[in-house]
Amino acid sequence: MEDLQTEYQKRQHLYDTMIVTSSNVVAAVKRKTDLMKSNQDRYKAVSHTFPNPCLTWEIVAVIHEMECSQNFNKYLGNGQSLDKVTTIAPAGRGPFSSFEDGAIDALRLQGADKITDCSIGSLLYFLEGYNGYGYEKYHNMNSPYLWAGSQWYTIGKYTSDGKFDPDSVSQQIGVALLLKSLFTT
């Protein structure tokens, strides 16, 4: 458990000291979080099915942005179409009749109902796990899934499952920036 606590504390420290790298990122964060806020009732419908105070609508919303670019016709587990069985990890899921049904499935599969520590460090650790811990484990770097758009990420990313490109740069805004914006507005 001490190693897990260390991981939470590391992410908490990075979150607390994070700064946005450009005015373009600030504008993108605002645009994305404004859209999330306009759809918060749909995210609440998902989060409220879990008896877990840690799984807020904001957590569901940032996963939706990262996995589906906020497209409600996509599966929260991997961004594939809701109306077909998934073929990439997690494969064999669906089809689903609604975004909400698919999102609940994906979050249960990921263990969102088992989060017990609601600190930002713990939540960021959970969210990083949603995408995978390969960055730190195999490349000794911060995950762009969390930190893209901040000083804590510059280059290197997985371009597909298991394929790392050290020269590729993530074009997404990291979860940490999105959450910080949602939690402070």
Report the residue count for the chain: 185
CA angle, residues 11, 13, 15, in degrees to nearest 5: 70
pLDDT exceeds 70 at position 1: no
- The residue behind tokens 């597909």 is 160
pLDDT at residue 130, as a whole number: 85
What distances in angstroms separate CA 60 from CA 23, 38, 108, 122, 153, one per listed residue?
26, 14, 12, 15, 23
Domain of 57, in residue numbers: 2-184
Structure-block tokens of residue 151? 């000083």
Domain count, the chain: 1
In this prediction, residues 158-178 reach a mean pLDDT of: 94
Tell me how far apart the 2 most distant CA atoms of the chain are, in Å: 42
Sign of CA dihedral 111, 68, 36, 62: positive
pLDDT exceeds 70 at position 125: yes
Q: Residue 106 phi/psi, 5° resolution?
A: -65, -45
Q: Whole-model pTM above 0.75?
A: yes
Structure-block tokens of residue 4? 């897990």
Average pLDDT of the chain is 94
Q: Within a 10 A sphere around the Cβ of 100, how many other Cβ atoms?
A: 17
Q: Which residues contact 48 (CB under 8 A, 6 or more apart)?
A: none
CB 63 within 8 A of CB 78: no
Q: Within a 10 A sphere around the Cβ of 105, how many other Cβ atoms?
A: 17
In this prediction, residues 175-180 reach a mean pLDDT of: 97
Share of the chain above pLDDT 70, in %: 99
- Write down the number of H helices and E strands in the chain: 9, 2
